Every structure is written in structure tokens, then in C-alpha cells.
């Protein structure tokens, strides 16, 4: 297993981390993702640790806290061998204090997460969404309190726009509060919007990408074919409406993955993940698995590399023209000379 620094921090993380959205299986979305109980979760954690994957990502909204509880039980007795990442800010109820990143909510939510996880600290806490109703100063000063109290080691965000992240970093610098070192983002061969603004920002500011849904919300499994219905066992039947949209023409164009998988003697998911690991600013790709077979297949994405030609072909077939103000820097030589794209 390869390890990379998480952004500009000193924290070393594995290039593959494990997402625990499949633990618990409560509600229409998470029950379709997976329903791993404690025994199965413990087995998946065993496999991860044997492979060098020691970062486990969760969130309070995953199965209404059940994911964190099961993860806590699965790592019991070996807390010193793992890194725990979790997220909060999304609604956990209908009350006025059940959502957001206010001081009241963060203090209560961190204590609740620590209780569910059975630990005294969280290695990486990420805000699951930007809270436009709470001043950024209040959010960051609260995170500073929690870091000083020893309850958090590092802080990050997820699903932020560029201006939201940059403003937060500037305010943190102004006051000497902890900087966000991670941004958990959607990025895949079917969704490359991250490259337009967030990737250059991450490179400039030292923010590492933790990639969620590297298989395009379950579309890059190698089982979806043009002119054929979705496989009966695909979770897309129940979850497609919750995830990032993908038009069919683009999806089927990226089926070039099949040919490259044959060339590399790898599976389609392994190729899709390996492509992400070659991209700038990516610190770790979060893999999920409903069972041991899926996990072992995803783990096969490391220990080898795509050729430069294979990467180029995947880039070309998956690329889309970005919107203004980004497209001039891609298509006009004068703009590109002043600010060339990172990829």
C-alpha cells in the first residue's frame, strides 16, 4: 500500500481508504448500499488492515449513526491501528438544532460521534456540507476549540464550492485557526468537474482530495452495457436519483474502460480507481464494498500503474468542455499559456 500526505498536513494516509456507508443499512439509500452488521464489518476491517488500508470514513447521517456504531465495534481493541474519518453538518432530524455547523451543533455532534465510535478522538472531522446560515468564524473557532481539547486531530470539508473553501482558509489563516487539509469530493471518469476549480485551489492551498464514488455512483462496475437493461442486482435501481447524473452517451463512451482492462489484465473498477490515483491533489480514494469479494477487487487497484497511453485515452474519452470562465484556458493558446490546466 502506498501512503501519501493528506494535503499539506503531516498526516500520512493510504491511497485507498474504506468508506463505511455500507455499515448498518438503514433507510432507502443506505439499505441499498449495503447492510453489513458488526461481524461482517469486522471481517472487512480485517481485510483492509491486512492490505495496509487503515483509514475508515463514516458520517453521522450514514444509517442515522449506525455506521459509526458498527465501525466503533469493528475496530474495538485496535484503535491505535486505525485512522477514523467522519462527517457532520447534514440534517439528523427535523428540529432547528438538528442540522448545520453552529457551535451548538458541532459540540453536541462531536460528542455524540465519539460515543458511537467508542473513542476519545476523531482523526479527521469533515463538514459534510457548507452551512450558509452560520458565520464561518463561528465554525472555525469551534473547530479550534475541539482540536485544542484533543477531540479532533485534523479538519476538512466535503462538497464545498471553491469560494466557500477559499474564504474559510483565508479566515483560518487570519486568526491562526486550524486549516482544512482535506476536501472529500466527487471525482470519477464520469464526473470531472473537480478539475475545473477545486483541483487548482487544492494544489495552491495544500488541500488533499479524498475521492468519494470513484466508480461514478456504481456505474463503472463493468456490468452496464449499451442497449441492455441495468443488471438486476445493481443498486442503481434504488439509488440513481440520489447521485450525480450522467448522460447515457457519456457513460457508454467511457466503456473504453473494458478494452483497457483487458490490456492491463485488470477489472474495470480497478482501472477506474487507478486512473484517479494518477491525478494531481488526490490523497486517497474511498472504496466501498458490500462484501468481501467487492473489497478484494477494489484493493487490486494498487500495486500497478496505467501506461501513459492508457491514461491519455481515458482522459480523451471522459473529458468534457468546462463552462465559462474555464473553457478559454482549455481552447485558446493565449489563455493556456498564462494558466495551463493541471491535467
**Residue numbers annotated as active site:** 62
What would the DSSP string read from start to end of 9-61?
SS-EEESEEEE-TTBS--HHHHHHH--B-HHHHHHHHHHHHHHT--EEE--TT
**223-237 residues labelled b (16+ CB within 10 A) or e (exposed):** ebeeeeeeeeebbbe
As given in the structure block, the three cell numbers for residue 41 are 464489518
How far apart CA 94 and CA 184 sit, in angstroms, is 25
As given in the structure block, the three cell numbers for residue 273 are 480507481
- Strand spans (E) along 140-254: 152-158, 180-186, 208-212
How far apart CA 231 and CA 237 sit, in angstroms, is 9
Helix (H, G, I), strand (E, B) or coil at 57: strand
Q: What is the DSSP letter of 231?
A: P
Helix (H, G, I), strand (E, B) or coil at 174: helix
Measure the CA angle with vertex 336, ends 331 and 337; round to 5°.
145
Instruction: Tell me the CA end-to-end span of the chain in Å, nearest whole number.
Output: 24
Amino acid at each position: 500500500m502506498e501512503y501519501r500526505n493528506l494535503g499539506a498536513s503531516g498526516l500520512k494516509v493510504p491511497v485507498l481508504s474504506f468508506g463505511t456507508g455500507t455499515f448498518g443499512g438503514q433507510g432507502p439509500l443506505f439499505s441499498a448500499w449495503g447492510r453489513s452488521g458488526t461481524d461482517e464489518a469486522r471481517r472487512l476491517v480485517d481485510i483492509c488492515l491486512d492490505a495496509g488500508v487503515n483509514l475508515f470514513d463514516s458520517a453521522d447521517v450514514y444509517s442515522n449513526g449506525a455506521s459509526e456504531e458498527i465501525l466503533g465495534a469493528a475496530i474495538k481493541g485496535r484503535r491505535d491501528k486505525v485512522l477514523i474519518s467522519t462527517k457532520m453538518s447534514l440534517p439528523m432530524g427535523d428540529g432547528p438544532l438538528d442540522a448545520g455547523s453552529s457551535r451548538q451543533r458541532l459540540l453536541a455532534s462531536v460528542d455524540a460521534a465519539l460515543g458511537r465510535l467508542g473513542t476519545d478522538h476523531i482523526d479527521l472531522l469533515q463538514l459534510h456540507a457548507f452551512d450558509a446560515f452560520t458565520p464561518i468564524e463561528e465554525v472555525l473557532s469551534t473547530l479550534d476549540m475541539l482540536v485544542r481539547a484533543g477531540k479532533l486531530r485534523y479538519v476538512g470539508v466535503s462538497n464545498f464550492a471553491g469560494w466557500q473553501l477559499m474564504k474559510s482558509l483565508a479566515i483560518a489563516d487570519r486568526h491562526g485557526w486550524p486549516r482544512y487539509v482535506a476536501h472529500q469530493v466527487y471525482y470519477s471518469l464520469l464526473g470531472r468537474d473537480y478539475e475545473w476549480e477545486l483541483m487548482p485551489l487544492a494544489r495552491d492551498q495544500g488541500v488533499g482530495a479524498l475521492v468519494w464514488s470513484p466508480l461514478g455512483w456504481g456505474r463503472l462496475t463493468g456490468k452496464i452495457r449499451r442497449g441492455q437493461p441495468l443488471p438486476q442486482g445493481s443498486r442503481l435501481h434504488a439509488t440513481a436519483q440520489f447521485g450525480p447524473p450522467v448522460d447515457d452517451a457519456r457513460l457508454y463512451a467511457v466503456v473504453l474502460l473494458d478494452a483497457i482492462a483487458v490490456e492491463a489484465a485488470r477489472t474495470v473498477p480497478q482501472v477506474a480507481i487507478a486512473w484517479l490515483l494518477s491525478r494531481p491533489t488526490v490523497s486517497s480514494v474511498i472504496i466501498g464494498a458490500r462484501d468481501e469479494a467487492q473489497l478484494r477487487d477494489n484493493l487490486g487497484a494498487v500495486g500497478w500503474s496505467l501506461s501513459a497511453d492508457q491514461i491519455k485515452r481515458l482522459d480523451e474519452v471522459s473529458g468534457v468542455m468546462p463552462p465559462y470562465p474555464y473553457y478559454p484556458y482549455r481552447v485558446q493558446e493565449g489563455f493556456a499559456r498564462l494558466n495551463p490546466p493541471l491535467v
